Structure 1
């Protein structure tokens, strides 16, 4: 079986703040939990400079990215493929093919047919896009990534969202270009699988807010289905509802909605929930994440579903599972013949698998398309540092002069005499020793840090001396009470409490009882070398100097109370449930934009409205500026 999973992660590291991903915090562990062989992620929200080893150099996986060319922390699509299961033969980014492959100045759509995926829009089709749209800009936002396998062409897509009508032309243009490219590939007899966050819902059953939208806008169901992006989308799908005559060029559907067809009558099968109203607990959401396949390969799949229980984003993962063996059409001669083929034979180059059995190993130099993240200049010919220190030892090589340090714990002396570590292992050991030495050097420097009055030359000599010292020699520490009585300690930085401490003007000698509070307020060093201090009092108020001199403790207490009252937060109002309210900020344009208000902390109910006398969000609403506190 081959399992495909798509997930809008709302930031590539966002899931690691949630269970179960936070237990390990590695992508390898994440993919194992998802049980996926191909993972398509949307809304990575990174640039190329933000890519790190743990994102790219994942053991046993290849990765491909399409990131925005200009906007920062915006959009972005990534596809990860398990090397033991599948190997794409081509990879491209962008729906139009206007971008160039790495280290090339020729756009994808101008490459030879043998080196490109195909299906690119013709000049006439590009002219049919919205007139106010710069077509070349469609590929610059990191919204489309395409991999070709022998079995099908896989699209990973993050379609533009509805931005209150501000980018309707770009949104519609992107969907038209995507639909046209898919139809062109279908005419070339290439199978297609479209995955990702398409930011469009099919029908009323796919959106909790649909009935309210129809009612408030005063539209009919047919008018709801005729909204431009929804109409285009439904004409692409088998069993899609299209009011009236179908559009020219869209006479036939070409894709199959796997999740809906496996669960045709299931309500509440949502994949996205609005975070700002905490809509997920009541499942007030929409289904805008899809795995769609060409109609001719719909029988290749044995299961498809959503994983609404997996947290980590405002979307949930969606998956589809291919069967072990699928039926394909072969045309060896003039007649078409249908035969059963193992799916692994179709997910890899022709000579890699036969009848589901591997014939040759995966070759990173030969089997990786140029768009692979591992071939980026900053990652090529490199390994993840985790792999460097956790890899299994290589087979021993004979050597005439083995050393005792090269022997493994569980090998005999005879084996030791005839074996030695490889040069690569020796480099790893040297690196580990260098790291340990660096740690020891930093520790020694920390314990013996010279004061700021020393010259740089003396500081360097002291660091060299500490680095050459024996690691087993204990480091001398000062006595706990030394800091309180040493005059040398007074030359350092003064404590915060000492800064605000008002000293008496009296020249009378200080008795032991008078000196005790001052001594106890100084920082003291415990046996572990840690520094502890009392809580520093806040800045003094308008109390007179005479008050400080006569009763410093009382004046400090009064000052503390004054500052506490000034900076402490107002108590939150209580909602109808008796729970502390939470604050939200108005984003709607108008006179109140930017104002904060208090509302009930509970999630919105299934109705999508505030409710009275239920377990969901009540009608409590208070402007923060109007709340005086209790």
Structure 2
């Protein structure tokens, strides 16, 4: 699928063939979001962005307007993030929220809570483990907040669906290195799968699922219990997707009573464009309950959508943002009234509110509209601008006429001679030797007062060059000297040519030590002293058991069909070639 073949973002969403679409890692801001992304014609949209750091995190939910309209919607998990004016009690999704303060956990734009009647959807992007103690604590607190919010909803009798990037594996088979972690743990004296479950957030994830004593069902795994390598995320920087060397960290989790509604659930690894792939579920149009009652999905999912009647979405939808309710700047540049005289040249006064001007700049579509509108401005304003330009020219000329009158002789000079007058001295004037100048040449008259009317000596540079060519310093060498010089020059040229050939020659490609195959060159992009330097590593893709080095991989765990641990700086490869004889 080539995403650039679609003309609009609305077309992209339609191509996904879903009524409810959830995104994570939007990596944008409200101000930087294009209008076609925030307001696609066929969908209602909801967003949560970081309140401090921009271009980071962020989640979005799109609902197809002709199929489903949410009942309620909130930003964040804690209930502390509120729009202006604040949500009323009837607009809130829950009556009860986690009891302790968690607003700082909601400031990174990581969750949206949407009430669809049949269930409450939580679209979330859980924090990644960056290796620092501070972020590790933040990650665990966020997972705890998510679990507490789900518990509050279940306590209120609601069914819950949690979707998104949870940044944690739920089973050993969900990790490309899972079995190796278990084997390494056993070698270190650990029991069973302790080598894999030693990370706290994995344990919490396992305990949250029904199989581990929790309340949530991993619906995709339930449909595919024995499927191996069912990964949803890959490190594309090391080419891991080509060999399916990844992890399953993207989930659809349900409370048990929603399971009968699910007709299909799977991943879509064939959909490219990200380091993650989509995960989907398909719901039945209707189900038969245990008492024989038939329940239609359209009757219990969202607000009622009838023919020609589509209710408004909840108030935090993007269509209600202030920047989407105000007039565009182009609306202020309307055509003049027909009753106005066409001969009027007075420039009309334009008054624009501060809000309108700011939003017009922030909105790309509004900016383009204002430009096109300004081009179609009434012609009455054009003469005023022309008059202003002419007035400036007249004022400039007036200043020139106020200068003292020139001498009659200078006024009689031809226009052609005036055109030749230079504004600066010639190069010859700075380099010529006074004693070498011809004595017959009279001094050039100079008008100090005005600087106008000087005669131009067009041959000055030519005469200087002729003089220099006739001086002793520039005398041509004798034939014998020329022959010796030519020999030395040729030898020097050959040496220089060899040096440049070595410098400009492509870096020789070394062979990797594990497979004796040509290595592949990469460039360091990480900030630091080595940024920009080039290096070679094994050209084979990574895979389970690829050689990470002796410090990270036991030798008996190395699978030679994948990348070996070969590494060499490109500069070292060039030095090795230079040391070889004949090079």
TM-score calculated relative to the size of structure 1: 0.59
SS of 1:211's partner is: helix
Deviation at 1:286, TM superposition (A): 0.4
Mapped partners of 1:144, 1:459: distance in 2: 61
Corresponding residue number in structure 2 for 1:200? 168
Deviation at 1:338, TM superposition (A): 6.5
Gaps of 5+ in 2: 331-367, 378-386, 394-418, 424-460, 467-485, 549-556, 578-583
SS of 2:217's partner is: strand
Q: Which of the numbers 115, 123, 145 marks the counterpart of 2:91?
A: 115
SS of 2:210's partner is: coil
Corresponding residue number in structure 1 for 2:191? 220
| Contact residue 200 and residue 288 of structure 1 kept, 8 A | yes
SS of 2:62's partner is: strand
Deviation at 1:572, TM superposition (A): 5.6
Corresponding residue number in structure 2 for 1:178? 146
Deviation at 1:504, TM superposition (A): 9.9
Q: Which of the numbers 46, 60, 66 marks the counterpart of 2:42?
A: 60
Mapped partners of 1:507, 1:587: distance in 2: 56
Range 20-29 or range 190-199, more displaced? 20-29
Corresponding residue number in structure 2 for 1:518? none
**Residues 190-216 of structure 1, C-alpha deviation per residue, up to 9 Å, x if partnerless?**
111100000000111100112233344
Mapped partners of 1:269, 1:35: distance in 2: 22
| Contact residue 78 and residue 98 of structure 2 kept, 8 A | no
**Residues 39-58 of structure 1, C-alpha deviation per residue, up to 9 Å, x if partnerless?**
11111111221111111120
Q: Which of the numbers 516, 519, 541 marks the counterpart of 1:603?
A: 541
Deviation at 1:269, TM superposition (A): 0.3
1:582 aligns with 2:527: no
| Contact residue 586 and residue 596 of structure 1 kept, 8 A | no
Q: 1:439 to 1:592 in 2, by over 3 A?
A: same
Q: 1:315 to 1:221 in 2, by over 3 A?
A: farther
Q: 1:303 to 1:627 in 2, by over 3 A?
A: same
Query: Aligned ranges for residues 201-280 of structure 1 at < 5 Å?
Result: 201-216=169-184, 218=188, 219-223=190-194, 224-225=196-197, 227-240=199-212, 253-280=214-241
Q: 1:373 to 1:267 in 2, by over 3 A?
A: same
| Contact residue 172 and residue 178 of structure 2 kept, 8 A | yes
Q: 1:300 to 1:604 in 2, by over 3 A?
A: same
| Contact residue 177 and residue 544 of structure 2 kept, 8 A | no
Corresponding residue number in structure 1 for 2:67? 85
Deviation at 1:156, TM superposition (A): 0.5
1:96 aligns with 2:78: yes
| Contact residue 146 and residue 153 of structure 1 kept, 8 A | yes
Corresponding residue number in structure 1 for 2:322? 377
Mapped partners of 1:30, 1:373: distance in 2: 18
Query: Aligned ranges for residues 146-545 of structure 1 at < 5 Å?
Result: 146-166=113-133, 167-216=135-184, 218=188, 219-223=190-194, 224-225=196-197, 227-240=199-212, 253-327=214-288, 339-349=293-303, 352-353=304-305, 358=306, 361-363=309-311, 367-380=312-325, 435=372, 438=375, 457=389, 507=465
Corresponding residue number in structure 2 for 1:617? 563
Corresponding residue number in structure 1 for 2:53? 71
Count of matched residue positions in the alignment of Structure 1 and Structure 2: 426
**Residues 330-383 of structure 1, C-alpha deviation per residue, up to 9 Å, x if partnerless?**
xxxxxxx6632221222231xx24xxxx355114xxx22111112111123679
Mapped partners of 2:523, 2:115: distance in 1: 45
Q: 1:266 to 1:571 in 2, by over 3 A?
A: same
Q: Which has the larger radius of gyration?
A: 2
Mapped partners of 2:77, 2:236: distance in 1: 30
Deviation at 1:143, TM superposition (A): 0.5
Mapped partners of 1:459, 1:268: distance in 2: 77
Mapped partners of 2:511, 2:130: distance in 1: 32
SS of 1:597's partner is: strand
TM-score calculated relative to the size of structure 2: 0.64
Corresponding residue number in structure 1 for 2:415? none
SS of 1:378's partner is: helix
Corresponding residue number in structure 1 for 2:445? none
Mapped partners of 2:375, 2:521: distance in 1: 48
Q: 1:585 to 1:56 in 2, by over 3 A?
A: same
Q: 1:588 to 1:59 in 2, by over 3 A?
A: closer
SS of 2:148's partner is: helix
| Contact residue 186 and residue 254 of structure 1 kept, 8 A | no
**Residues 143-176 of structure 1, C-alpha deviation per residue, up to 9 Å, x if partnerless?**
1111111111001000011111431211111111
Deviation at 1:603, TM superposition (A): 2.1
Mapped partners of 1:620, 1:299: distance in 2: 52
**Residues 503-543 of structure 1, C-alpha deviation per residue, up to 9 Å, x if partnerless?**
999857xxxxxxxxxxxxxxxxxxxxxxxxxxxxxxxxxxx
Q: 1:339 to 1:594 in 2, by over 3 A?
A: farther
Corresponding residue number in structure 1 for 2:509? 573
Q: 1:613 to 1:259 in 2, by over 3 A?
A: closer
| Contact residue 612 and residue 619 of structure 1 kept, 8 A | no
SS of 2:73's partner is: strand
Gaps of 5+ in 1: 1-18, 127-133, 241-251, 330-336, 386-430, 441-454, 462-486, 492-502, 509-549
| Contact residue 75 and residue 141 of structure 1 kept, 8 A | yes
Mapped partners of 2:388, 2:200: distance in 1: 71
SS of 2:130's partner is: coil
Mapped partners of 2:318, 2:505: distance in 1: 48
Corresponding residue number in structure 2 for 1:29? 11
SS of 1:220's partner is: coil
What is the aligned-residue RMSD (CA, Å)?
A: 4.2
Mapped partners of 2:499, 2:72: distance in 1: 65
Deviation at 1:433, TM superposition (A): 13
**Residues 370-420 of structure 1, C-alpha deviation per residue, up to 9 Å, x if partnerless?**
11112111123679x9xxxxxxxxxxxxxxxxxxxxxxxxxxxxxxxxxxx
